[in-house]
Structure 1
Amino acid sequence: MKILLIEDDKLLGETLAEYLQIKGIETLWLWDERQIVKIIKQYEFDVIVVDLILKFSSGEELILALRKAGIQTPILVITAKRSITDKERCFIRGADDYLIKPFEFKEIVLRIKALCNRRHRENIVTIRDIVVNLDAKTLHSGKEEIKISQKAWDVLCLLIKNRGEVVDTETILDYVWQDKDVGEEIVRAYIKQLRKILPPDSIQVYYGQGYKLN
């Protein structure tokens, strides 16, 4: 097991990295998050652990950037931020777990192992006869590959991440288009495209609220 730890508190980062190594978890620790682009290209990680309050950017921005770049590695947030709003913001952007400081080191080991195990189970999602490979970023119906645009893929990934729950239009706009000046009609267009591809009633429309992947 190999993880990437992004923590700008040098005392905590060094101490935690040493503890994880002792527990058999190979750990690459970054205290300067600007190095992440180079590191992600060089190594494959089972889990990424990231603090929210970093030196040069926010952890929330980093999480979203990783997901937009197609990185599907599970992300565990460690932070002193406690509000439900902070948690919601991270989960919407693609975090998989959220651990509030201070925490026992034993607990973070348990969470890392759980995320690692979950990753190997969830990288392939089936929607009836459609197989979605999140790592390869492909859709297949039987032996036939279905091609979709990057934006449609981003919308689908967000719905998969929140499957069984209604995802509101504003959340989709924030995740896929970020600060671009687009409206609800573009979300409706991509949802319509996905509904033509996926089995009937896979995406349920809640008018005035959002969309749910069944």
Structure 2
Amino acid sequence: MKILLVEDDPILGESLKEYLEANDIEVHWIQDDREIEYIYNFEQYDVIVLDLILKYKKGEEILRDLRLKGIKNPILILTAKSDIKDKEYCFNLGADDYLTKPFNPKELLLRIKALTKRKHIDEIIKIGDVEINLNSKTIKKAGEEIKISKTAWDLLYYLLKNKGSVVETERILNYVWGDKPVGDEIVRTYIKELRKILPKDAIKTYKGRGYKLD
């Protein structure tokens, strides 16, 4: 799981990053809210955690702009604003959850996990004789556990999240490899790795476009 944290308080931001990463959540922390303008791939994030009181722009404006751009990621507001009018305003703008400061970091963790469950797929998925457990990040084929690399797992997870739809190669590169300078060939390499595990024709290639997991 990977989240985008927009929080300008250096102490709070650092402590949240450490806590969430200790609970197996990758955190991209933005302290300068202007940096959000340079993110072109929001699909890599499972949840966006957004403060409202920021240095350069109001969190409400960022929330509104994200929704106007068609960004559909679950957005959790994290703020000292506790008035019901502030909550109503954010929910009307498209927020999915709202947590006021001070708070217990465990509650934030639970809320993030709840949002990802709404967005994501079943915890255990079966494809032929292959059983994929998203919670424990394990794969079993005919009852025997199969080990794969983290990169292969990230690719499999993204295909599962978009199962039944053609996923463009560029989107896969952005989600799995982010800003790393890699090309289409590396995607083909890891697709081959997954095909050795999954049933025949589970992953279909759409030449010049991408891949689809049925």
SS state at 1:199 partner: coil
The alpha carbon displacement at 1:167 in A equals 1.0
Name the counterpart of 1:138: 138
**CA distance 1:185–1:116, shift in 2 (3 Å):** closer
**Cα RMSD, aligned residues only:** 4.4
Of residues 47, 62, 76, the one that matches 1:75 is 47
Q: Does 1:102 align with 2:102?
A: no
Identity %: 40
Task: Spell out, residue by residue over 1:94-113, the C-alpha distance to the aligned partner (whole angstroms, 9 max, x if none).
Answer: x4x358963259x8469x69
Name the counterpart of 1:40: 20
Amino acid across the alignment from 1:188: R
Moved more, 196-205 or 122-131: 122-131
The two structures have a TM-score, normalised by structure 2, of 0.59
The two structures have a TM-score, normalised by structure 1, of 0.59
Contact 1:32 1:55 in 2 (8 A): no
Point out where structure 2 has 5 or more consecutive residues left out of the alignment: 51-62, 78-88, 99-110
Name the counterpart of 2:191: 191
Name the counterpart of 2:212: 212
Q: Does 1:177 align with 2:177?
A: yes
**Aligned pairs, how many?**
172
Distance, in Å, in 1 between the alignment partners of 2:12 and 2:90 is 21
Point out where structure 1 has 5 or more consecutive residues left out of the alignment: 11-29, 68-73
Task: Spell out, residue by residue over 1:61-113, the C-alpha distance to the aligned partner (whole angstroms, 9 max, x if none).
Answer: 9x888x6xxxxxx63666222466551xxx6xxx4x358963259x8469x69
Name the counterpart of 1:201: 201
The alpha carbon displacement at 1:55 in A equals 3.7
Amino acid across the alignment from 1:80: R
The alpha carbon displacement at 1:164 in A equals 1.2
**Over 6 Å off, 4+ runs:** none
SS state at 1:201 partner: coil
**CA distance 1:42–1:208, shift in 2 (3 Å):** closer
Amino acid across the alignment from 2:189: A
